[in-house]
Amino acid sequence: MNVLHLINHAGSGGSEKYVEMLVEGFSGGETYFAYNEDGPLHEKMVAKGVNSVKISMRSPFDFSAARKVAKFCKNHKIDIIHTHFIREAYVAILSKLFGSGAKVAYTYHILEKLGFAQKTVNLLVMRFCNAVIAVCKVGMISLVENKISAKKISVIYNGAPQVIKADSNFRAEFGISEDEFVFVTVTRFSPEKGVDFLLRSVEKLSSSSCKVVLVGSGELFEEMQQFAYRNNLQNVIFAGRRADVNAILQESNCFVNSSQTEALSFAIVEALSHGLPVVATKAGGNVEIVNEKTKCGIAVDYGDEEAMAHAMQRMMQDENFYNDCSDNAIKLVSETFNSEKMLKETFKIYKKITN
């Protein structure tokens, strides 16, 4: 079985890590990679020796891209095109018109509210998609609302990548002492990720004896830096885009997710695998991770700065609660957000749609 992963932007976010895990874990044939916009994921695929091709995808109805995808599929005998956003899903489906001969799987990584016209197009086009994967239960509900047949949808939670202990000078690099409590978030600096909400919450902390490390980049990066400067948030560190996220999580104490909208945060799952308790908003799939049953952290309403600050304060001050959350984080990854489980269930879908 040959699988082509098709993605528009070969960046460094959660969906890209998801692709990387699927490529590394697949042993039932050959994997291939096609992308539009250059980025770290393409570099990783090349380093792994994965046959890669750049295909311009200007829109979901780019017939030129569909022809190129079909040609690549025929030349390499591709059985499945696994797509990761709606643009690529449409292009892959259109490639069937040009004889790709491949089945199409689509993973729904982000929650989207579509208008009537888009839902109508989904109703017409996505009937030709062979399988749809939702990374959380809320994602499945959203897909059905967007006029995708529930019969095609499987819920498969993201799995945490393997934790590899790494030498780290992260604390020394940023002048953080060994006894300081470190909150960390790995995020994109865009409006829906709520970095401004997090910073306003940090203002309300009754104690500043901690560091808040923001890892990532994006359109609002400089604006958020200026906000922190204007409000004298000296305990906030803007680390930028980093290649050593694993080491940073290893050196941190608690993970924070401040998103306004979220499907199922790959970053939260990765943090849990390091035993980090989580403070997160009740956005989308976050509540399927952080809740009264899992007891791995605290969930707060988006925009409630007092609640976010109080939750962060409790993580610093209530040692027993913190330790229980840490233990439960490891347990949750083992039982639910397990990479082997994710890979097994995904590859089972591959077999189902090709038989």
Distance CA 104, CA 83 (A): 7
Share of the chain above pLDDT 90, in %: 88
Q: 46-50, 133-137, 158-162: which has the minimum mean pLDDT?
A: 158-162
DSSP state of 160: B
Give the per-residue pLDDT at 14.
86
Regarding pTM above 0.85, the answer is yes
| 88-106 average pLDDT score | 97
Joined tokens for residue 4: 């082509």
Q: Do residues 150 and 266 both lie within one domain? A: no
Using pLDDT thresholds of 50, 70 and 90, give the confidence band for residue 125: very high
Residue 31 in this model has a pLDDT that exceeds 70: yes
| 132-156 average pLDDT score | 96
Give the per-residue pLDDT at 207.
67
Distance CA 43, CA 176 (A): 32
Q: Do residues 44 and 72 both lie within one domain? A: yes
Residue 298 in this model has a pLDDT that exceeds 90: yes
Q: Do residues 122 and 265 both lie within one domain? A: no
Q: Do residues 152 and 241 both lie within one domain? A: no
Distance CA 140, CA 227 (A): 37
In a domain, 280, yes or no: yes
Residue 184's SS3 state is: strand
Residue 278's SS3 state is: strand
Q: Do residues 53 and 118 both lie within one domain? A: yes
Count of domains in the chain? Answer: 2
Amino acid, single-letter form, for residue 28: G
Q: Do residues 147 and 227 both lie within one domain? A: no
Q: Do residues 329 and 198 both lie within one domain? A: yes
Q: Do residues 180 and 254 both lie within one domain? A: yes
Dihedral sign from CA coordinates of 311, 313, 319, 320: negative
Q: Which residue, among 174, 107, 126, 34, has the nearest Cα to 342 in the 3D structure?
A: 107
In a domain, 165, yes or no: no
Domain hosting 221: range is: 170-335
Dihedral sign from CA coordinates of 331, 335, 338, 340: positive
Using pLDDT thresholds of 50, 70 and 90, give the confidence band for residue 156: very high
In a domain, 52, yes or no: yes
Q: H or E element: which one contains 132?
A: strand 131-134
Residue 272 in this model has a pLDDT that exceeds 70: yes
Q: Which residue, among 342, 228, 75, has the nearest Cα to 34 in the 3D structure?
A: 75
Q: Do residues 59 and 176 both lie within one domain? A: no
The mean predicted confidence, pLDDT, of the chain is: 94
Amino acid, single-letter form, for residue 211: K
User: Burial level of 282, CB count in 10 A (0-12/13-18/19+)?
Assistant: middle
Q: Do residues 174 and 298 both lie within one domain? A: yes
| 85-114 average pLDDT score | 96
Instruction: State the alpha helices, DSSP H only, in the chain.
Output: 14-25, 40-47, 63-76, 86-95, 116-125, 137-145, 170-173, 195-203, 221-230, 245-250, 266-273, 286-289, 305-317, 319-335, 339-354
| 275-287 average pLDDT score | 96
Q: Residue 71 maps to which CATH number?
A: 3.40.50.2000
Distance CA 84, CA 16 (A): 9
Distance CA 61, CA 66 (A): 8
Q: Do residues 320 and 294 both lie within one domain? A: yes
Alpha-carbon Rg for the chain in angstroms: 21
- What Å distances lie between residue 116 and 120, 122, 142, CA to CA? 6, 10, 14
Beta carbons within 8 Å of 173's beta carbon, 6+ residues apart: none
Q: Do residues 175 and 58 both lie within one domain? A: no
In a domain, 164, yes or no: no
